[in-house]
A = this chain, B = another copy of it.
Amino acid sequence: MTAPKFAGIIPPLCTPFHDDFTVDTASLRRHIEFQLDAGVHGIFVLGSSSEVAFLPDDQRRITVETAVDQVAGRVPVLAGCIDMTTLRVAEHVKTAEAAGADAIVVTAPYYTRTHVAEIDRHFRLLHERTSLPIFAYDIPMAVHTKLDRDLVLNLAADGVLAGLKDSSGDEAGFRLVLQQRRERGLEHFAVFTGSELLVDSALAQGADGAVPGLGNVDPVGYVLIYDHFRGGNPQAARREQERLLTLFSITDVAPPHRMGRGSAALGAFKASMKMRGFIDNAVMAPPQLPLNDDELLQIKGKLAEAGLL
C-alpha cells in the first residue's frame, strides 16, 4: 500500500469568459495564481463549476491547455472529460492527454438510460484507451445516476479507477466507500468529497481531500481546514468550515423563482471572483441568467463580512 498520489484541496475552477463567451485566458491564469498562492494541492478544470456543460469543444481545449501551461507542474491538473457516452468522452480524453493533464475525471453515461453493467463497461473501455489516472465523478444531480458502491470499489481494485470525486450528496454512502476501502486494502484509491460544506467531516472520516466549488472564492479557507486537520486541530478546522458555511449563503441570494440554482450559485462564485480581483468579467454562458444589481450588492456585503474584500 502506498499513499494516494492525489490529496488535499483541489478546487474545481470556474472558467472566466470574455463577453463573447470565449475563455479569458489571462483571467484564468490569474485565477490559477491566486489558487496556487493560497496553497491548493491541485486544480480541477472542466468540472461542473467550470461551465463544462456550456463550453464548446474548442473552448474546453483552450481551458485545459491554459491551465496545464500556467500550473507548469507545480500541482496536479485534473481535467473533466464530461460527455454522454464512451466514444464522446474518449474524444475529450485525447484532448486532455494532448494538453498534458495529470488525470481525467469521468461521470456515468447520461442522456441515455444506463445500467450498472454498462457503466462498468464505460470506465473499463476508457481505461483501455488512456494511461492517465481516471477519477470517477459521482454527480447524480447532473447525470441522474448514482454510482454503485460495489462497482466503484471493484473498478478501484482492478486498477481501472484511480480515484473518486463524490458529489452525490450521499454522505452515508461516501462513508461506506471509505470504510470498505480500508477493509479491502485499497488505500491507493484516492477519495475526495465534493461537498464543500462538509470538508472537515470528510477529512475526519478518512477522505483524502476535497473539491470545493466555494474554493474559487476563498481558497485560503479550504487550505486552512486541511492544514488544521493535518495538524491535529479538528476544532480549528471546524471553525473555519463554519465560517465558510456562512459565506456559502452567497449562492442563495438570487431567488429560485427567478433562475435555476446553477445560475444562482455560479453567478455568485463568478461575481465574487471578480470583486476579489481574481477575474475581469463575471459573465456566464447562455442560457444561464445574470444576477441583478441588488443581488450583486448583497454578495458584496457578504464578502465584506467574511473579510474577503
- Residues of chain A having any CB pair with chain B under 8 Å: 21, 48, 53-57, 82, 84-88, 90-91, 109-115, 117-122, 125, 141-144, 169-172, 175-176, 179, 182-183, 195, 197-198, 200-201, 204-205, 234, 238, 242, 245-246, 248, 257-263, 285-289
Contacts and interface: CB of A to CB of B under 8 A. Distances in A.
A287 B86 contact: yes
5 contacts: A82-B111, A86-B286, A117-B258, A118-B259, A118-B263
Contacts of A110: 53, 110-111
Copies in the complex: 4
Contacts of A112: 48, 53-54, 142, 260, 262, 288
A54 B125 CA distance: 14
A260 B115 contact: yes
Leading 4 A-B pairs by shortest Cβ distance = A115-B260, A122-B287, A121-B287, A171-B171
* Residue with the greatest number of chain B CB neighbours at <10 A, chosen from A111, A195, A204: A111
A149 to B, nearest CB: 10
Contacts of A200: 204
Nearest to A143: B111
A141 B144 CA distance: 10
Given A54-B88, A118-B260, A171-B171, A109 B287 contact: yes
Contact of A84 (B54, B91, B179, B259): B54
Contacts of A260: 112-115, 118
A111 B287 contact: no
Nearest to A244: B179
Contacts of A85: 53-54, 285-287
Contacts of A55: 87-88
Given A118-B263, A125-B287, 7 more contacts: A118-B287, A121-B289, A171-B195, A171-B201, A172-B198, A200-B204, A201-B204
Contacts of A119: 287
A289 B198 contact: no
